[in-house]
A and B are shown apart, each in its own frame.
Chain A
Amino acid sequence: MNVIETKDLCKNYDELKAVNKLNLNVRQGEVYGLLGPNGSGKTTTIKMLTGLILASTGSASILGHKIPSKLVLNDIGYMPQETAIYLENTVHENIQLFGEIYGLTKAEIKVREVELLDFVDLSHRRNSIASTLSGGMKHRLSLACAMIHRPKLLFLDEPTVGVDPELRALFWEYFEKMAADNITVLITTHYMDEANNCTRVGLMKEGELIAEDEPHLLMESTGTKTLEEAFLALARRCD
């Protein structure tokens, strides 16, 4: 079953085609990586899929609902590029706020908070003000906030930017755990090396999806040893 389907999705800003005729199919339970350099249209794609901006032309559906739709908002989680947490509130207050936004009961929030803080290893900082956390901890808290309501589909926009290698590895472990729980993850990144962990990747260049497949198949088809080399080979073919 496809959790995300787009058909000729476009976003134009005046003359600029930020996303051009994007046809994307993301299956349930996979970690799908949207790869590409800065300005290739990854964030614009996520913003259209989450309903933050409207598509210029084309259509898309999320979890079977044509978007934009309020019906999907309870089932999706979103972690923007920015840390997107309330820095002057405590870790607990951040979790609690998002729990209440998603309509969890007090008891549910309590249980979920313990699970999530354990999951992102922040239990010992529960009462800390978020601004006092390290950069990596803030990212982990941000991820926990996006997961509070057990979303079926998680959009993660460059979650590993500015994150040290150790934490990045940890994040990928999280994502694999989520996929194991049948949560679909759409992740954007411009770190080609870490995209090897994705179930499938879509390579974007100048707003267009130039290739899509499992990482090892993309490398095989281009006769390259890394995803970066595969991307460069595919990009050259398009030029």
Chain B
Amino acid sequence: MNMRRTLAFTKRSLMQFRHDKRTLAFVLIMPLVMMLVFGYAFGGDPKDLDIAIINDDMGMTTPTGMELSFADAIIGNLDDETYVIHYYDDWDTAKLDLQEAEVWAIFAFPANFTSNMFMNFAMNGTETSIIEVDIDDSNPNLAGSLMQGLQDALVETQEELMIQLNIPPDAAPMSVQTSKEYGDAMEIEFIDYFAPGIVSYSIIMVTVMISIILFVGERREGTLQRLLVSPASESEIVIGYAMAFGVIGLLQSIVILSAAILVFDINIAGSVFLALFVIIILAIGHQGLGLLLSSAAKNELQAIQFIPLIVFPSVLLAGLFWPVQSIPRILQPLAHIIPLKYGIDAERSIMLRGWGVAEVWPELTILILFAILTLSATIILLKKRQ
């Protein structure tokens, strides 16, 4: 392979991007827009969620004469940015509104809520105070946030009461339960979890789209035929392209990771360079896929018909929004043949868990093999003469 010729193809492709400002803007800004849109749409804390509260708590007067209502205290500690509280008198009416999506959740405090809590807390009783909870499950993330907010209010109230009642910090915790539980709330914010996926996804989408269209253009404009009649080998042409897309992928990932850090305050626990490297390999592999698919298209219109083929399985199955384990079992094997899954897994491990090459090498190997496979297949296809 002649390196000078290979670099000539890389340089030409990069110069094309430099002159074609609109395409360059698309390549760099599109992932950024996706990051911002997804980030704001999914990443922020939910706000102004209507909830129903049924407060039957009778409260109590302590032996020292102090008026107590734990339910009022907990309600008062619910974050007023997250919740819009509507008071209800009975469960049935609240339940009806929950079913009609008028409210996201019902928190009901029973009449003996304070007394049970106090007996348990201050007098070493065994009663348990239970907050009855019902939640609209249609959005698991929202449901998680609603429960997390209630837990936060509960913890805050307990801490306040411990001070108020002079209970030492090492005393047994108050026994308050919610009737419904949602797995352990994530320590990390949703955007942190989501960002590695969206970084990978937006880059592969733009890369596949642009490489398919550019290579179909090469065939249609006759430049590819001209190259195939020149001393340039098929490998030089394909590797030249791949290197150009590697550079583009690097620029894209710098832009998008900067946005993620600056706008969404995302923490990258691991090596930024490793995160960038994974994205570049992912971009090169998908550029190869784009070139491969372009050979099956006669024009740009046919070419863009391939985009949904890549986009939808990737969005739905690669673990972008939810873990692969949560998709129907019958579809799970499909997820394992989607290269984006390995990109997202690696990026998540690097960015969130702080893993290095020693831990993410399986994903990295799969991505490198995918790149080698798609580029080799393209080279073989180009070598094939009718």
Residue of A nearest to B17 (CB): A88
Residue of B nearest to A97 (CB): B12
Min CB–CB distance A40 → chain B (angstroms): 19
Contact B221–A73 (Cβ < 8 Å): no
Given contacts A54-B385, A68-B385, A82-B222, contact A101 B8 (CB under 8 A): yes
Could you tell me the dominant secondary structure of chain A's interface residues? loop
Min CB–CB distance B6 → chain A (angstroms): 10
Contact B19–A54 (Cβ < 8 Å): no
Contact of A83 among B23, B221, B386 (CB under 8 A): B221
A129 within 8 A of B: yes
Min CB–CB distance B344 → chain A (angstroms): 32
A103 within 8 A of B: yes
Cα distance A105–B16 in the bound complex, in angstroms:
22
Residue of B nearest to A146 (CB): B226
Interface size grouping (class) on chain A: 35 or more
B223 within 8 A of A: yes
Contacts of B95 in A (CB 8 A): none
B225 within 8 A of A: yes
Cα distance A155–B11 in the bound complex, in angstroms:
27
Contact B5–A100 (Cβ < 8 Å): yes
Given contacts A86-B12, A88-B19, A93-B12, contact A101 B227 (CB under 8 A): yes
Most buried by B among A68, A74, A100: A100
Most buried by A among B2, B226, B232: B226
Contacts of B5 in A (CB 8 A): 100-101, 103
B4 within 8 A of A: yes
Contacts of A145 in B (CB 8 A): 226
Contact residues, B224-243 vs A (CB, 8 A): 225-232
One digit per residue, 1 when the CB lies within 8 angstroms of any chain B CB and 0 when it does not, for chain A 199-238 equals 0000000000000000000000000000000000000000
Contact A102–B230 (Cβ < 8 Å): yes
A6 within 8 A of B: no
A52 within 8 A of B: yes
A136 within 8 A of B: no
Residue of B nearest to A145 (CB): B226
Contact of A88 among B16, B220, B230 (CB under 8 A): B16
Min CB–CB distance B17 → chain A (angstroms): 8
Interface size grouping (class) on chain B: 20 to 34
Contacts of B20 in A (CB 8 A): 88
A76 within 8 A of B: yes
Contact A83–B222 (Cβ < 8 Å): yes
Min CB–CB distance A124 → chain B (angstroms): 19
Contacts of B223 in A (CB 8 A): 84-86
Contact residues, A67-119 vs B (CB, 8 A): 68, 70, 73-74, 76, 78-90, 93, 96-98, 100-103
Residue of A nearest to B219 (CB): A82
Residue of B nearest to A94 (CB): B12
Cα distance A54–B222 in the bound complex, in angstroms:
18
Contact B229–A84 (Cβ < 8 Å): no
Cα distance A145–B225 in the bound complex, in angstroms:
13
Most buried by A among B220, B225, B227: B225
Contact B385–A101 (Cβ < 8 Å): no
Most buried by A among B4, B5, B229, B386: B229
Contact of A100 among B8, B19, B222 (CB under 8 A): B8
Min CB–CB distance B12 → chain A (angstroms): 5
Contacts of A70 in B (CB 8 A): 231
Contacts of A52 in B (CB 8 A): 225, 228-229, 385
Residue of B nearest to A53 (CB): B386
Cα distance A81–B220 in the bound complex, in angstroms:
11
Contacts of B222 in A (CB 8 A): 80-84
Residue of B nearest to A129 (CB): B19
Cα distance A142–B225 in the bound complex, in angstroms:
13
Contact B229–A50 (Cβ < 8 Å): yes
Cα distance A98–B228 in the bound complex, in angstroms:
12
Contacts of A84 in B (CB 8 A): 221-223, 225-226
Min CB–CB distance A230 → chain B (angstroms): 31
Cα distance A220–B267 in the bound complex, in angstroms:
86
Cα distance A82–B223 in the bound complex, in angstroms:
8
Q: Which A residues fall within an 8 A CB radius of B? A: 50-54, 68, 70, 73-74, 76, 78-90, 93, 96-98, 100-103, 129, 145-146, 155
What are the 10 tightest A-B residue pairs by CB atom distance, in nearest-first order? A82-B222, A84-B222, A100-B8, A80-B222, A78-B229, A88-B16, A88-B20, A50-B229, A73-B231, A84-B226
Q: Which B residues fall within an 8 A CB radius of A? A: 2, 4-5, 8-9, 11-12, 15-16, 19-20, 23, 220-223, 225-232, 385-386
25 A-B interface contacts by CB (under 8 A):
A50-B229, A52-B228, A52-B229, A53-B386, A68-B385, A73-B231, A78-B225, A80-B226, A82-B221, A82-B222, A82-B225, A86-B12, A86-B16, A86-B221, A87-B221, A88-B23, A89-B15, A90-B15, A96-B8, A100-B4, A100-B8, A101-B8, A101-B227, A102-B231, A146-B226
